[in-house]
Structure 1
Amino acid sequence: MKSCITISLVEEARGGPFVLWDGLRAGCELAAKLGYDAVEVFPPGPEAVEPGELESLLDDNGLKLAAVGTGAGWVKHKLQLADADESKRMKAIEFVRSIIDFAGPFGAVAIIGSMQGRYGDGVDRESARGYLADALEDGGSHAEQYNVPLIYEPLNRYETNQVNTVADGVGLLNRLSTQNVKLLCDLFHMNIEEEDVADALRTGGDKVGHIHFVDSNRRPVGLGHTDFRPIMAALQDIKYSGYLSAEAFPYPDSTAATEQTIRAFRYWTQS
């Protein structure tokens, strides 16, 4: 398993669960200094980052780009994949494609989380789930050209009424014709929704494509009450070899959270 830290470039999301907030250069330099393998970037859109500049930053610091989030599609642009308005749904799909096209050449995945939307406000549950499935079909197929999957994230009940558990996520993926969509298992959301986090990871099995490595209270690992022993055992059982990415609050500050996470990563992956 490989270490990863999140960098947000979206001012509208400041105060949210991203560790680093002071730009790509500063984030990459700190990640490299502490020995991280990769960064996960949350941009306002693909045009906000010049690919050549990012490539140089990654190369200079010995880092990989693990993933790029699409969340600004909702947070900044108010686009979501279950919108009652077809034209807005199409704009949301185009935004997801644009993030895939930005991330793909780096060998990085695009993540759909908050953009999945919800039912209500003129969209019934079946229709919302159908719109989401259509978007995942499109994104999964689009990502194939880069030999990377599209990553879909179940969220807790307070953030969506679409898919809340890993088992429900597996069910959604099983109804797709594309095999190129994997699950993001976020340990914070799982702490709220799952009866047993380790068992849920085993249910995800080979459909688990990315992990958000975070404690029960959305603080860095080690600053909450999650028992990571069974979680790490489950990841070993499913032969997970991807990133453990810290999508956590910068508590007590960004530098301390980055240091705490890499200590926890090393402890749990070397135990």
Structure 2
Amino acid sequence: MRKIGCCTWIFNNEPLEVTTQRLHQCGLHGAELHGDINRINPVQAGQLFSDKGLEIFSITPGDADIAHPDRKIRQEGLTYYEKLIEWVLKLDQKLTAPIISCHGLVQRIRPISTQEEENDLLVDSTQKICEMAKSASLNIVFEILNRYESHQIRTVTEGLDFLKRVNAPNLKLLPDAYHMNIEEANPAEALRLGHHHIGLYHAADSNRGAIGEGHTDFAAQFGALNDIQYSGPIILEVAAPGPDPFNTNKGEGFKEVLQKQLVKSVQAIRALGS
């Protein structure tokens, strides 16, 4: 059976003591921890997860514009990742260090200068992040988003071209079933195309709900993950129904809705034999 986790940011920055209890109740094995380096004490966070028998699989970053044409803004993003890497090391997870996720600024859907220049800047910044991570023996995954969230790297094909340009051995791709539902003609074949370059996998149904609440063919995607011998976790990134996709707080009771979605997703994944 695959290990299953979820992104902690979906609970809108509630205390980790509460979140880890939720994860345990939902039958999850761990989480993708929000890299809130100014609010979360990494030593305490690592201990909380360990005490619950949970694993921190990966880190989802705060927003940082690493492809902005303004050098100062770009450097602020790189400085954030430098601090994030130091923060991750303090989590002190003994067996396996968490993977750090990377992407451009979410919600910037068009270039400020030109697409070509900003693609070049994204390559340059990612090379720097990978080099920083390499010095700390950490791995990076680049998350593939959709056109409504980013103007850069929206398909696995684009991701593979990006990997060639960055040329860093500690960099892989993070495809997400929800984003693939928008951008990929055939998500399962996209996963097969990515093959050993897939370093992490996110899952939510076509409506960003629990697995089984939309029309995504997860049997096909899990079959593709088996075919490429993906051995990592399934990270659930579901959202309660409601407007504003960039705000997880959908009103009273939304956390209880999320918890039910996580339980339903775990059951669906197991029913599909994954």
Shorter-chain-normalised TM-score: which range?
0.7 to 0.9
Q: Which residue of 2 aligns with 1:33?
A: 25
Report the Cα distance in structure 2 between the residues aligned to 1:165 and 1:145, rounded to whole angstroms.
29
Stretch deviating more after TM superposition (173-182 or 110-119): 110-119
Q: Does residue 1:6 correspond to 2:7, yes or no?
A: yes
Work out which of the residue numbers 75, 80, 90 in structure 2 matches 1:90.
75
Work out which of the residue numbers 153, 163, 176 in structure 2 matches 1:173.
163
CA offset at residue 59 of structure 1?
A: 1.3
CA offset at residue 264 of structure 1?
A: 2.0
Work out which of the residue numbers 228, 249, 261 in structure 2 matches 1:257.
261
Q: Does residue 1:127 correspond to 2:117, yes or no?
A: yes
Secondary structure of 1:175's counterpart equals helix
**TM-score, structure 1 length as denominator?**
0.87
Identity %: 26
Aligned ranges 1:218-257 → 2 under 5 Å? 218-250=208-240, 253-257=257-261
8 Å Cα contact 2:7-2:60 kept in structure 1:
no
- Specify the code of the residue in structure 2 equivalent to 1:159: E
Stretch deviating more after TM superposition (169-178 or 142-151): 142-151
Q: Which residue of 1 aligns with 2:39?
A: 48
CA offset at residue 118 of structure 1?
A: 5.4
8 Å Cα contact 1:3-1:244 kept in structure 2:
yes
Secondary structure of 2:211's counterpart equals coil
Residues 12-64 of structure 1, C-alpha deviations (whole Å, 9 max, x = no match): xxxxxx25653211111121233211111224x31311122112211110001
Q: Which residue of 2 aligns with 1:210?
A: 200
Report the structure, 1 or 2, having the larger helix content.
1
- Specify the code of the residue in structure 2 equivalent to 1:263: Q
Report the Cα distance in structure 2 between the residues aligned to 1:19 and 1:240, rounded to whole angstroms.
27
Report the Cα distance in structure 2 between the residues aligned to 1:87 and 1:20, rounded to whole angstroms.
29
Secondary structure of 1:110's counterpart equals strand
Q: Does residue 1:103 correspond to 2:95, yes or no?
A: no
Secondary structure of 1:219's counterpart equals coil
- Specify the code of the residue in structure 1 equivalent to 2:53: G
The count of aligned residue pairs is 253
Residues 79-138 of structure 1, C-alpha deviations (whole Å, 9 max, x = no match): 4011121011011111122222222443112212343755522x2111101111111111
RMSD: 1.8
Report the Cα distance in structure 2 between the residues aligned to 1:100 and 1:115, rounded to whole angstroms.
18
Aligned ranges 1:57-96 → 2 under 5 Å? 57-70=48-61, 72-73=62-63, 79-96=64-81
Q: Which residue of 1 aligns with 2:250?
A: none
8 Å Cα contact 1:20-1:250 kept in structure 2:
no
CA offset at residue 266 of structure 1?
A: 2.0
Secondary structure of 2:4's counterpart equals strand
CA offset at residue 254 of structure 1?
A: 2.1
CA offset at residue 203 of structure 1?
A: 0.8
Q: Which residue of 2 aligns with 1:13?
A: none
**TM-score, structure 2 length as denominator?**
0.86
8 Å Cα contact 1:185-1:211 kept in structure 2:
yes
Q: Does residue 1:23 correspond to 2:24, yes or no?
A: no
Cα gap change, 1:269 to 1:132, in 2 (>3 Å): farther
Cα gap change, 1:139 to 1:60, in 2 (>3 Å): same
Report the Cα distance in structure 2 between the residues aligned to 1:219 and 1:102, rounded to whole angstroms.
31
Secondary structure of 2:222's counterpart equals helix
- Specify the code of the residue in structure 2 equivalent to 1:3: I
- Specify the code of the residue in structure 1 equivalent to 2:266: I
Report the Cα distance in structure 2 between the residues aligned to 1:266 and 1:97, rounded to whole angstroms.
38
Report the Cα distance in structure 1 between the residues aligned to 2:12 and 2:78, rounded to whole angstroms.
27
Report the Cα distance in structure 1 between the residues aligned to 2:121 and 2:103, rounded to whole angstroms.
14
8 Å Cα contact 2:7-2:236 kept in structure 1:
yes
Cα gap change, 1:46 to 1:174, in 2 (>3 Å): same
Stretch deviating more after TM superposition (135-144 or 250-259): 250-259
CA offset at residue 265 of structure 1?
A: 2.6
CA offset at residue 179 of structure 1?
A: 1.5
- Specify the code of the residue in structure 2 equivalent to 1:59: S
Q: Does residue 1:113 correspond to 2:98, yes or no?
A: no
Report the Cα distance in structure 2 between the residues aligned to 1:20 and 1:263, rounded to whole angstroms.
24
